[in-house]
Structure 1
Amino acid sequence: MLPICTALRLSAWDRRNIRNRCFLFSLLLFIFSSGLNAAPGDSTITLAHAVQRSLSQNPSLQIFPYRYDALQGLAETAQLRPAYEVGFDAENVGGSGDFTGVSGAELTVALSSVIEMGDKRLARQGVVSHRRSLLDAHRQVESLALLGEVTRRYVDVLAAQAQVELAKEAAQLGNESLRIVQKRAAAGATPEAEVKRAQAAAEQAKLALFAEQQRLTYLKVALSALWGSTNPEFDKVEGDLFQFGEDVAFERLYAKVEKNPAIQIFAAQSRLKDAELRLAKTQSSADISWSVGVRRMQETDDTALVAGFSMPLFSAKRNAGAVSTALAEKNQVLAEREVMLLDLHTQLFRAFHNRKQAIVAVKALRTAIIPALEQALVETQAAYQRGRYGYLDYVSARQELLSARRTQIEAAAAALTYGAEIEQLTAEPLALTQYGEDDTFSGLPQ
């Protein structure tokens, strides 16, 4: 089965910077035989299609080309050499006595500039280059965050679809219960009050179905908003809500955390601070200002060549504060990286164990709890029709089954969501194999 990223058509930048990380995370939660390999129909959308549209149309990624253009402008400025200046100087003009008017004037035209010392130009270019690398890392983080949000909203729609189907089943059960109660009331085996209660329960089931349908409508709008659409162009999403990736040891997952683009940002920031530190150190080397020109003495009608240079004194001492600031900022980045790693460890630990708990719950509900409740409902309904159980027993059995199925949907959605969070934190997918090949449930962990 092909990974989803091979089915997408992205820009050259995306193929270079996102394919190896971003595409390999939450998408693989939904690998199933037909959904992701089939082209979406007019009313159905796949996760691959949702990701493709979001990456190409989401406004949050559209700002990066402008940021790259801004850096290009800075790069052009950084590579400029010091400008040449033309100066004009007039002396002994407009005085008194022999210096009245311009007869005794001395006029000088000079060309001047600065000789940069300490490779300042190269250091400026290095800073801009590392800013571009930092922007690349930020774009990866934004793309990964967008993919995570697409996956989470996709899971929400997938779970909402299952909740709508369950609500339809609940409405059908409500109507069936009403029919059974009416039949018993007609035979004089149950009071009319139970008919009213059954009617009320059937109407409440219809209201619950309507509420789930409205929630599904909203969630589809929220999903389509990620690619800038206010009107969903699909009726449903494809996917298997009850298929999970393989369970991977926590230590192996945490070993991959350093590959997270959020950590790579600190690496890029550290390199940028190194470049800024080098630039600050270059300021300790004093630049040499020079000038050369021609002077004309009006009184003698003679001309002479003039030249000069100057340089500031004690530049290294005056620049010591800037160097210290740049060094402190670099060390601050290293400290912030350690804080981020600790935070990612906490997030990964929470997502890892919550995912495991959700999968255990789904397995227990699917293999042990729901089958038992289904059989209990069949037996309770039969006993109620024979008059052995009361109406409350019958309704309780029905509600317990519906509640268990609702819990199963919620647990499955939680497992997929936590799996997506794990992949976003590690910037790598979980394995493609289904979680737990043995479908028999051996009981909750002791």
Structure 2
Amino acid sequence: MKLQLLNRRAYFSAALSLLLTLPGLAFAIDLSTAVKRTLTANPALQLYPYQVRALEGEALQAGLKPNPILHADLENAFGTGDSRFLAGHELTLSLSQVIELGQKREKRVDVVDRKSVAIQREYEVKRLDVIASMMRDYYQSLRLQYLMSWNSQRIEAERAAVEVIQHRASAGVVGKADVMRMQLRLAKSQAKQSELKAQHANSLNVLATHWAESPDFSEVKGDLNQTPALPEMDSLHQAIQSTPDYMLSVTQTRISEAQLALAQAESEANVTVGAGIRRFEASNDNALVFNFSMPLQWQNKNQGNIASAQAMHQQTLVSQDILKTRLEIAVERIHSAMLNNLNQLQQVDSDLRPVANSLLAEVKRGYQLGLYSVLQWLDAQNELFSIERERIETQHATHLQFLELERLSGSKLAPQAAHKE
């Protein structure tokens, strides 16, 4: 029984392996799977844990207090007379401790804490950029699939036209040149199909590099006809305030504030206090000793660092305003382009495609009746397929524009359908 079961499993495994190698058999990947793989294995995102560990080390270092210092002084030794060798020496042992004033330790920790927030913001920005880059390549593969389908339909239409023209040539109604002209057009379309297939195969390889693997799929899932709805400008402007790029800029401003506060605290001098015991060998006495030291602040020795920190803080404030303006301009520009593309798609479907289809049907019928030439038939075919090609490119551009709005806003915009075939 076990042997029979093993044989069945071996048969099933062999059959599955055979299916995977069969040409023309499509194994598609969907967008959610591509996103999961990218987040799990993208090389650019694998560095984040090491950055966190490095910052944990900085936090540990920033929180350390100065260590106490052991002092040992030996005086009046190895002299002459009463100070010969160690007869009259004085030995002092003491411990001293540097006391940091101005809350320097707390301010160092504050700088590292704000850096930690910045690292998280940087990761969110990198994560958005990585996913957006992957999705652009995903839509590129989807675009090429639609173009292959479009060109395949063109090949079928041209092949059918060749048969019609050959039939009329056999009847002596048209010349051989008409047949050759349509055959040339068919050969060009077939060559184009081979080119599109090669581009599609390469696009799958590019897509799989986002998770550092070779593609285990032969196509991607998606519907270019399901174009997203145009988001409201007000919602986009509000989203800019919470986008990871803008929040990172805010965090960097806070880091510069903390660094300025630390530089100002560093201008306050530390004090050193100590205590110990002194041994008088000559009189066989012991005594306690105390010491205190503090630099004289004739001038601020950290004024250069303070000036530098103030300039850097002002720079981050200006950079934050510039970034906000750039984001608003970019969002408005992309929003306008997306609106134009959606209007263009609506015009194509409502006006251009019906007219082009009617024109081709009329010219094809008229050609068979001898009313139109083969060149007019070719022109009518070209008009229809040019419109279809333009439609695919506009749909692809609309999806990329919506993707860019998502990336700039840092939020998942609602992908309601605005236009569908």
Change (3 A) 1:172 1:288: same
- Structure 2 Cα separation of the partners of residues 123 and 361 of structure 1: 57
Which structure 1 residue ranges, 5 or more long, are not aligned? 1-40, 440-446
What residue in structure 1 maps to residue 193 of structure 2? 209
2:388 to 405, 418, 422: 405
Q: Tell me if 1:351 matches 2:334.
A: yes
Question: Is the CA contact (8 Å cut-off) linking 1:284 and 1:315 kept in structure 2?
Answer: no
Q: CA deviation at 1:327?
A: 2.2
Partner secondary structure for residue 377 of structure 1? helix
Q: Secondary structure at the match of 2:241?
A: helix
Residue 165 of structure 1 pairs with residue 149 of structure 2: yes
Alignment of 1:54 onto 2:38 = yes
Task: Give the structure 1 partner of residue 139 of structure 2.
Answer: 155
- Cα distance, 1:222 vs. partner? 1.4
State the AA in 2 paired with 1:127: V
Match of 1:270 among 241, 248, 253: 253
Report the Cα distance in structure 1 between the residues aligned to 2:165 and 2:290, rounded to whole angstroms. 112
For the pair 1:91 / 2:102, whether they are aligned, the reply is no
Change (3 A) 1:194 1:424: same
* CA deviation string 1:77-110 (max 9, x = no partner): 1111111122333334555676564445433332
Task: For residue 42 of structure 1, report the CA deviation from its aligned partner.
Answer: 8.4
Q: Match of 2:313, as an amino acid? A: K
Deviates more, 1:390-399 or 1:413-422: 390-399
Alignment of 1:40-439 (within 5 A): 43-93=27-77, 101-229=85-213, 231-314=214-297, 317-435=300-418
Q: Is there any run of 5+ residues in structure 2 with no aligned partner, and where?
A: 1-24
Return the letter of the residue paired with 1:407: E
**What's the RMSD between the two structures over aligned residues?**
2.2
Other-structure match for 1:33? none
1:256 partner SS: helix
The one-letter amino acid of 1:117's match is L
CA–CA separation in structure 1 for the residues paired with 2:70 and 2:87: 24
Structure 1 residue 167: deviation in Å? Answer: 1.4
Check whether the contact 1:182–1:195 (CA below 8 A) recurs between aligned residues.
yes
Q: Deviations along 1:280-331, whole A, 9 cap, x unmatched?
A: 2222322111222233345555443322111112177223332232222112
Q: Would the aligned equivalents of 2:252 and 2:316 in 1 still touch at CA under 8 Å?
A: yes
Give percent identity, aligned residues only.
Answer: 29
**TM-score normalised over the length of structure 2:** 0.88
Q: Secondary structure in 1 aligned to 2:227? A: coil
- Provide the C-alpha distance between the structure 2 equivalents of 1:270 and 1:184, rounded to a whole number of angstroms: 78
CA distance in 2, matches of 1:255, 1:182: 64
Letter in 2 for 1:416: H
In the comparison of the two structures, how many residue pairs are matched? 397
Q: Which residue identity lines up with residue 123 of structure 1 in the other structure?
A: K
Whether the aligned pair in 2 keeps the contact of 1:285 and 1:315 (CA below 8 Å) is no
Based on CA coordinates, which of the two structures has the bigger radius of gyration? 2
Distance 2:419 2:368 in 1: 41
CA contact (8 A) 1:171 1:205 kept: yes
What is residue 29 of structure 1 aligned with on the other side? none
- 1:139-173 Cα offsets, whole Å, 9 max, x none, are 11111112212222221111111001011112222
* Aligned partners of 1:284 and 1:316 also within 8 Å: no
What amino acid does structure 1 have at the position aligned with 2:31? L
Find the residue that maps to 1:428 and give its secondary structure: coil
Of 109-118 and 177-186, the range deviating more from structure 2: 177-186
CA contact (8 A) 2:342 2:419 kept: no
Is this contact kept in 2: 1:283–1:315, CA < 8 A? no
SS at match of 2:300: helix
Distance between the aligned counterparts of 2:77 and 2:156, measured in 1? 107
* Whole-Å separation in 1 of the counterparts to 2:362 and 2:157: 15
Q: Can you list the C-alpha shifts for 1:182-230, whole angstroms capped at 9, x where unaligned?
A: 222222222222322222221111110011111111111111111121x
SS at the partner of 2:417? coil
1:21-78 alpha-carbon deviations (Å, 9 max, x no partner): xxxxxxxxxxxxxxxxxxxx98221111111111111111111111111111111111
Supply the AA of the counterpart residue of 1:338. Answer: D
Match for 1:348: what amino acid?
Answer: V
Aligned-residue offset at 1:388: 1.7
Contact kept? 1:285, 1:316, Cα under 8 Å: no
